[in-house]
Amino acid sequence: MDSSDHNNPVVTVYITNYNYAAYIEQSIESVLNQTFQEFELIIIDDGSTDQSREIIERFRSNKKVRIIYQKNKGLNATNNIAISEAQGKYIVRLDADDFLEPSALGMMSTLMEADPELGLVFPDYYYVDEDGNITGQERRHHFDDEVTLYDQPAHGACTMVRLDFLKKLGGYDEEFTCQDGYELWIKFVTFYKVTNISRPLFSYRRHGNNLTVNEDRILNTRKAIKEKFVSSHLQSPKTLAILPVRDTFFGSVNWPLLEYDGKTVLERKVRQCLNSRNINHIVITSADKGTLKTTREVFASTPEVQVLERPAEMAREGVSLKETIDLVLDQVHSEFDAIATISLDFPYVDSSIIDETVNTLAIFKSDSVITTRADLSTYYRHNGNTLKPILDQNKYTRYEREALYKGVGGLVVTTVKSYRKRGSMMGKRISHVLLTSKEAFGVDDAFHFEVFNQMERGAKLSVAGEE
């Protein structure tokens, strides 16, 4: 008789289900058929209206299985119910549309048993379609010898967590309705040891009902998770924002002075900085006397805003920002922990993104943070005979080490210590923040300027100072 029959299983697995009757039987069977059998399985149905209950009831007679029916409590509330019910040393969430490899619990629990300081372990995984056919594979850098920067979270499901550590961290925050894995991740990488297994141990099913297809909701929730974590556990760095303003003409229109909804592009960006919880002082630099005069008038009574003239040679296209940043640091008579350079070319990068970028610097102890967009395009290099995909991007396997990120958003934050050491906004350890498609939209040529006009056509567009 194994230990799970004595109500002291090594592992608690819980399956969360809402209307996944088509998949839940495979999910349950994948747990019951583990090579490691010292587990309990809690099935939590969150108010399904399909045939899920009929399928779940088939497993009621199994001594390893407990069943909970509830009405639409949401993911994090359900996670906390599982924590309160769990009797194992370690706990794993499995979504009802995913399924485990037979060796999953054994391999993860062996690592946990071997190291009492280890709080969390996660594996690689397969992508599968609605019918369970493998379409790809997620492979992560190995944490024991490749990873020192922990800004790439584990998948929220099929991650094994030491239960007493999770309880000490307060469980899951029920304020957040998705991204439970991200909230869990930043807690554990801050306070406990984590590692991974470089082997696919579960299958993640991609289909139209996945929560993860809602990008805006996911990224906005991540912002909120970071904000709350920093305010509760960390000291936000005192940050200086630098807005280098350069004349950019589209026809007769100078982009920084384009006015819509009663404010210029420049004023709107400055006010976004003022609305940021993490920006302590703002310096606007420009070589254009008209821009300087207008900006000084608008912000004359705002002590957090400083307007600084910079030499024309520093404002030319293609000139490095280093001389401008050095000029600002010489003129500002306060000490700061971090510097943020903010471009006017990305009108939809707002205060929440600025805050998230600074919070990311604090959470992951980075030297720098840049705003990015994951680039799923296939890139080719000509080898003299043909165009060959770089990084073997034509393979179905997805390797984390080969993922591409495009720098967009025009926002970089770096520690003052790193900047002074390297003379660059790009530090040695660079984290990233992901932007939505709209946030990544940049006005850097006449075409995108016209697109912006179309997007904002409900607003009155004009040039500051013109009738």
What is the full DSSP assignment across 330-392? Answer: HH--S--SEEEEE-TT-TT--HHHHHHHHHHHHHTT-SEEEEEEE-----EEE-SSSEEEGGG
- As a whole-number percent, the residues of the chain with pLDDT over 70 amount to 93
CA angle 347, 350, 355 (to 5 degrees): 145
By DSSP bridging, strand 368-374 and strand 430-434 are: parallel
- As a whole-number percent, the residues of the chain with pLDDT over 90 amount to 75
Q: Are 324 and 189 part of one and the same domain?
A: no
Give the residue-averaged pLDDT of 407-416.
97
Q: Are 136 and 261 part of one and the same domain?
A: no
* Residue 84 pLDDT greater than 70, yes or no: yes
Give the residue-averaged pLDDT of 87-91.
98
Q: Are 330 and 448 part of one and the same domain?
A: yes
Predicted confidence band of residue 463 (pLDDT cuts 50, 70, 90) = low
Task: Tell me phi and psi for residue 183, to 5 degrees.
Answer: -60, -45
pLDDT at 5: 43
CATH of the domain at 429: 3.90.550.10
pLDDT at 4: 40
pLDDT single digits (tens) 269-314: 999 999 999 999 999 999 999 899 999 999 999 999 999 999 888 8
pLDDT at 206: 86
Most confident listed range (136-140, 174-178, 362-366): 362-366
Predicted confidence band of residue 185 (pLDDT cuts 50, 70, 90) = very high
Rounded Cα gap, residues 79 and 65, in angstroms: 17
Rounded Cα gap, residues 309 and 286, in angstroms: 5
pLDDT single digits (tens) 377-408: 778 889 898 988 876 655 545 555 567 899 99
Most confident listed range (5-19, 84-98, 145-159): 84-98
Q: Is 398 helix (H, G, I), strand (E, B) or coil?
A: strand
Q: Are 199 and 325 part of one and the same domain?
A: no
Predicted confidence band of residue 1 (pLDDT cuts 50, 70, 90) = very low
pLDDT at 421: 96
Number of domains in the chain: 2
Q: Are 400 and 261 part of one and the same domain?
A: yes
Structural domain includes residue 226: no
| Helix H or strand E segment including 259 | strand 258-260
Q: Are 117 and 55 part of one and the same domain?
A: yes
Q: Are 309 and 273 part of one and the same domain?
A: yes
Give the residue-averaged pLDDT of 412-433.
96
pLDDT at 378: 79
User: Residue 99 forms beta bridges with which residues?
Assistant: 203
| Helix H or strand E segment including 190 | helix 180-191
Q: Are 49 and 181 part of one and the same domain?
A: yes
pLDDT at 391: 67
Predicted confidence band of residue 2 (pLDDT cuts 50, 70, 90) = very low
Which residues touch 109 (CB under 8 Å, ≥6 apart)?
A: 10, 11, 36, 38, 90, 160
pLDDT single digits (tens) 149-183: 999 999 989 999 999 999 999 999 999 888 888 99
Structural domain includes residue 223: no
Give the residue-averaged pLDDT of 409-419.
97
Structural domain includes residue 230: no
pLDDT at 392: 63
Give the residue-averaged pLDDT of 409-423.
97
Tell me the whole-structure pTM to 2 decimals.
0.89
* Residue 467 pLDDT greater than 50, yes or no: no
State the chain's mean pLDDT as an integer. Answer: 91
Q: Are 192 and 286 part of one and the same domain?
A: no
Q: Which residues form the domain of 343?
A: 239-463
Q: Are 282 and 197 part of one and the same domain?
A: no
pLDDT single digits (tens) 20-76: 999 999 999 999 999 999 999 999 999 999 999 999 999 999 999 999 999 988 888
Neighbours of 201 (CB within 10 A): 21
* Residue 460 pLDDT greater than 60, yes or no: no
Cβ–Cβ under 8 Å, residues 31 and 101:
no
Q: Are 380 and 270 part of one and the same domain?
A: yes
Structural domain includes residue 341: yes
* Residue 205 pLDDT greater than 90, yes or no: yes
* Residue 122 pLDDT greater than 90, yes or no: yes
**CA proximity to 360, closest of 434, 420, 263:** 434
Which residues touch 350 (CB under 8 Å, ≥6 apart)?
A: 272, 275, 439
Neighbours of 408 (CB within 10 A): 22
Q: Is 447 helix (H, G, I), strand (E, B) or coil?
A: helix
CA angle 156, 160, 164 (to 5 degrees): 110
Q: Are 349 and 410 part of one and the same domain?
A: yes
Cβ–Cβ under 8 Å, residues 220 and 434:
no
Rounded Cα gap, residues 92 and 82, in angstroms: 10
Structural domain includes residue 263: yes
Task: Quote the tokens at residue 20.
Answer: 């996944």
pLDDT at 266: 96
Rounded Cα gap, residues 77 and 278, in angstroms: 30
pLDDT at 432: 96
Structural domain includes residue 450: yes
pLDDT at 261: 84
Structural domain includes residue 234: no
By DSSP bridging, strand 160-162 and strand 118-128 are: antiparallel
Q: Which residue has the tokens 């969430």?
A: 93
Q: Which residue has the tokens 């470089």?
A: 198
Structural domain includes residue 378: yes
